[in-house]
Each structure stands twice: as structure tokens, then as C-alpha cells.
Amino acid sequence: MNVKDNLFEVIKTNASQKELNWIETKATSSLQSLQTAFVATTRFVSKTSVNTFEKLKGINFNTWNLDKLVRSYFLVCLDVADEVSYTKTLNTLFETAENNEAVALISSLALLEHPENWLLRATDAVRSNIGIVFDAIAFENPYPQEFFSELAWNQLVLKCIFNDKSIHKIQGLDDRANKELAISVSNLAHERWAAGRTIPPQAWRLVTNFLDETIFEDIKKVFDSEDYKNQLAAALVCKNSGFLPAKNELKKHIELEQKVKDLSWSFLEV
């Protein structure tokens, strides 16, 4: 089955007959009509939670509402044969999007034809200060992992940390960890410490494989923190890192060493 059929199967089990009739009529109509249907979806389709085990390209539709799913379906129904009108239609939708429409668009990026063409829309979503729009690109979205440059990726992760958002919901968080990001996390921590603030303990997982003399100094400082979760974070970094001084450091903290033996980062995920 292709993406379109897959989405429709999920819609069928979640929509009422009346909603289905409307969706089916619109799905086979002209580009212009589909564009309007995308906008008008919430006037004809309810916002009930989607109930499904179906996953597509790493997207878990169980966390979606029906209106979002239907909008996503309309997007994959757009005729791609005429690339100029296809691109124009999507651009218009992006440029005139209301917040929930923007979320549907961003969440569907990986399902579109030639997803790489929409990179600027994706990085614009990272720049957004509208919570739900930012979250749509950051969380449970396969797009950044696959298409973001290292620079764009690092911006996404850093902005999450900066805004106290849950980085573990970013797909590919550990796979795309990199040295530059580890340095940025360290720098951010220094800025925060200077201001008498902290970074979320979980953020330290990003330095695990990039420990060097400099960043290791930070970890020692985190061990000395009065906050237990920060101490655990330091211990987890040392446990998972191949950096020898870190291994030795952990041995100095016997209780923490014991504690993190059966512990993973999920313990610190908030």
C-alpha cells in the first residue's frame, strides 16, 4: 500500500460515515478544491483522537487528532503530475496557514512527494515561537532526522533545550548526536551557570560520546550539583561514555554508580 491508501485506511476506522462521505468527495476533486478542503476541514471533521496502531515512516498517528489526519491525507491526495501547480498550492497553504493548519503541514512533510524540497519550510518551523508549530517539526516527526543538515539539526535540539522542551521526543536524537552539538550544550550550560540557572539534566546525554578534557570538566561540575537528577545525569554520561577519565570518575561516586547500573536516560525524561 502507498502512503495515501495507508492514511485512508486509518481514517476509515476513525471517521463517521458523514465525515467519510465529505472526505471522499473532496479527495478526488481538483487541486483548487482540495486546497479549500484542507482549510475547511475543521468545519466538516471532528477533532477526536485517532485510534490506531498504524505507523508510517515513524509517525505515530495515535497522538494525532482526526482533523490533522484528514488534512494530511488531503496533502498526499494533491496531484503531483504538474509540479508547478503542486508546489504553488503547497506554498499557498504554508503562507496562509492558521496554527492548526501549520501543524498539519509540518507534521506531514515526510509524507510529501520530494520531501527534500520543503527543507526551508521545516527550518522555518524550527524558527517559530508558536509552541505547537515548533513541536510539530521537533517531536515525533521523521523529517529532521532524515533531511536536516548538521547545523539545522543542532539548532533544533538546542532550541528544545533552551525552551525546556523534551528532547527525547526528537526522532534520531542519539543517532545524530555530534561533536559540535556537544560543544554547544556545554557552552549553553556555561551561560546558564553564569546567570545562576541550569540546563535540564537530560541534555547532558548529548555529550556522552564526545567527552574530552574540556567537557569532562563540566561533567565533574554536574556531579557536584546539589540536584540529584543532575548528579544522576553526570553518572549516566560516565557510564555510557568510552572516555577513560569519566569511567574512573564514576567510581568515585559509589552510590550513584550503583544507582545508574540499571538506569537509562528514560529515567530523566520529562
Residue 187 sits in the site that holds another protein (CB under 8 A): no
Does 28 bind another protein (CB under 8 A)? Our answer is no
Q: Where are the alpha helices (DSSP H) in the chain?
A: 3-14, 17-27, 31-44, 66-77, 83-95, 99-107, 119-127, 131-138, 143-147, 150-162, 179-194, 213-223, 228-240, 244-252, 254-260
Regarding 258 and contact with another protein (CB under 8 A), the answer is no
**What does the alpha-carbon distance between residue 162 and residue 156 come to, in Å, rounded to a whole number?**
10
Q: Which is nearer to another protein, 164 or 174 (CB)?
A: 164
Select from 82, 83, 130, 179 the one that contacts another protein (CB under 8 A): 130
Minimum CB distance to another protein, residue 1 (Å): 31
Output the DSSP codes for 48-105. Answer: PBP----EETTEEGGGSBHHHHHHHHHHHHS--SSHHHHHHHHHHHHHT--HHHHHHH
Strand-pair category, 55-56 with 59-60: antiparallel
Q: Establish if 91 lies at the interface with another protein (CB under 8 A).
A: no
CB of 38 to another protein, least distance (A): 10
The amino acid at residue 175 is D
Query: Of 15 and 97, which has the nearer Cβ to another protein?
Result: 97
Select from 89-97, 141-149, 182-190, 214-222 the region that touches another protein (CB under 8 A). 89-97
Q: Which of 13, 51, 91, 92 binds another protein (CB under 8 A)?
A: 92
Binding residue for another protein (CB under 8 A) from 135, 144, 148, 234?
135
Which among 159-167, 186-194, 238-246, 249-257 is the span making contact with another protein, rule CB under 8 A?
Answer: 159-167
CA neighbor of 214 nearest in space, from 195, 194, 189, 232: 189
- Provide, rounded to whole angstroms, the least separation between the CB of residue 138 and another protein: 10
Footprint of another protein (CB under 8 A): 35-36, 39-40, 42-43, 92, 95-102, 129-132, 135, 162-165
